[in-house]
Amino acid sequence: MLIGPDMARASRTSAVIGGGIAGITAALGLAEAGDRVHLFEKGAQFGGKIAETDVDGIVIPTGPDNFLARRTEVFDLAAELGLDDRLISPSAGSARIYRDGRLHPLPPNVLGVPATTELSGTGLISETGSRRAAEDLTAGDDRTSRDESVGSLIRRRLGDEVLEYLVDPLLGGINAGDSDRLSLESGTPQLAQLRTMNPSLITAAKMTLDDRPPNPGPVFSSIDGGIARLIDRAVARLTDLGVTIHLDTEASIERHDDGWSVSSHRVDKVVIATPAFVAADLVRGFAPALSGELSGIYYSSVGVTIFVLPPNTLSIDPSISGVLVPRACGFTVTAISFASHKWPRMAGDDRQILRVSVGRRTDARWRQLPDDALIELVRAEVSDILGQVIPPGPTSVALWPQSLPQYDVDHADRIIRIERHTSQFDGLSFVGAWLHGLGLPACVASGRSAARTSP
């Protein structure tokens, strides 16, 4: 016999809106805890940004292709779904940064913050830039408890050149953002952590690298066959758990005195797992102030172009995983990923696969281009950057408009305000990439939190 909270739990019905990784993990957690769950997804399939495409017989991810290995959440989910024997690490892990017609190795660094003052050797940073960065070692302690942008911190301590040719390309490759607006605290907790260690960023980066074990293991992991396999398994598990699945359903919400309706289904609890600007539309009718806060979160748009080339078309050291392209170089391309170096089994027949990213917060020029014009622009730019011609061949374009939430300097305060507004509505909660980190581990953690929030 069920009594007390367990009885309430057994009779609770929940709706999850959004079938990306955060919504799916939220639905899993709620169903495993005993809720009757409805999962609503606007598209024809689950996964959200976790998507793939077939280019000339090769299945290639168009969204995430790996996740941070130092967090445990995706590993735990993979284990729960029986995928732990399919975890893989990239075969190539060494990136280059483009500048002045050459590809430069990175100095030892933590998210682009150098752990050395020897910066001019590779040509990535000039002698002047290197001397400016070294001032960090003797500049006074300017730490405060106030948040600031990554750009303002790095420009002040290490100079413009280190920001523009090291830190910004690395961060831009992750979130397509603008370092001069990106919050140190909410957007780059690893840099915020450096800040607490020592007044000098170079010293803190060196301390961090010195503390690492000699063979720390790969920084990233993935799933053999693609991250989308996580979604397939999770959806199968949701079906086993009796979750009612609504695909091709753009959900809407109505509030009642004693609960909610989601697309005409009466429920006790609603978990919104959509991008923040969609969440803003969903709640506008009953929570205009909350909606206003949600719509203030800016999203960058990106595109991923894919080139499948015959074996040995490009002569690139196979240990190189990709090339980051600083904004200051003026290209539309932001990063080139040598997917077949990272995941050789993807190109089982030795063909070379490039995944080339375009788009950042400060560059929307490419968004007006038709797909074939975008491919030609990217082909020309990549040929220029690599100094080798990319011949015509199978290609693909995936556009991701408004896809990467930007953690601006006021982000933490905005999230506190959003949580305060949300607490006025029993049974309403949010999960997803815009809350506490946009990487897959953070999204899984966010989804998991849905089953813990009450009621």
Ligand X SMILES: Cc1cc2nc3c(=O)[nH]c(=O)nc-3n(C[C@H](O)[C@H](O)[C@H](O)COP(=O)(O)OP(=O)(O)OC[C@H]3O[C@@H](n4cnc5c(N)ncnc54)[C@H](O)[C@@H]3O)c2cc1C
Residues in contact with ligand X by CB under 6 A are: 17-23, 40-43, 48-50, 63-67, 250-251, 273-275, 278, 302, 304, 400, 403-404, 432-433, 438-440, 443
CB 279, min distance to ligand X, A = 8
Q: Which is nearer to ligand X, 43 or 393 (CB)?
A: 43
Q: Which is nearer to ligand X, 119 or 443 (CB)?
A: 443
- From 94, 367, 346, 358, select the one nearest 229 (Cα to Cα): 346
Please say whether the beta carbons of 55 and 396 come within 8 A: yes
Helix (H, G, I), strand (E, B) or coil at 418: helix
Q: Which is nearer to ligand X, 133 or 283 (CB)?
A: 283
DSSP codes, 35-94: -EEEEE-SSSSSBTT--EEEETTEEEESS---EETTS-HHHHHHHHTT-GGGEE--S--E
CA distance 178 to 151: 8
Strands of 13-17's sheet, edge to edge? 244-246, 36-40, 13-17, 269-272, 428-430
CB 250, min distance to ligand X, A = 4
Q: Which is nearer to ligand X, 45 or 152 (CB)?
A: 45
- From 30, 38, 39, 28, select the one nearest 10 (Cα to Cα): 30
Q: Which is nearer to ligand X, 23 or 114 (CB)?
A: 23
CB 404, min distance to ligand X, A = 6
CB 399, min distance to ligand X, A = 10
CB 443, min distance to ligand X, A = 4
CB 78, min distance to ligand X, A = 14
CB 269, min distance to ligand X, A = 16
CA distance 166 to 111: 8
CA–chain centroid gap for 441, Å, is 9
CA distance 252 to 327: 40
Q: Which is nearer to ligand X, 45 or 126 (CB)?
A: 45
CA distance 40 to 18: 6
Which residue type sits at 187?
Answer: G
Element (H, E) at 170: helix 168-175
CA distance 63 to 51: 6
CB 194, min distance to ligand X, A = 21
Please say whether the beta carbons of 321 and 92 come within 8 A: yes
Q: Name residue, tokens 């969440």.
A: 279
CB 263, min distance to ligand X, A = 8
Which residue type sits at 367?
Answer: R
Q: Which is nearer to ligand X, 194 or 273 (CB)?
A: 273
Q: Which is nearer to ligand X, 228 or 377 (CB)?
A: 228
Which residue type sits at 416?
Answer: I
Scored b (16 or more CB within 10 A) or e, 70-86 reads ebebbbebbeebebeeb
Q: Which is nearer to ligand X, 115 or 398 (CB)?
A: 398
Q: Supply 431's token pair.
A: 């999960």
CB 6, min distance to ligand X, A = 29
Please say whether the beta carbons of 91 and 342 come within 8 A: yes
Q: Which is nearer to ligand X, 115 or 377 (CB)?
A: 377
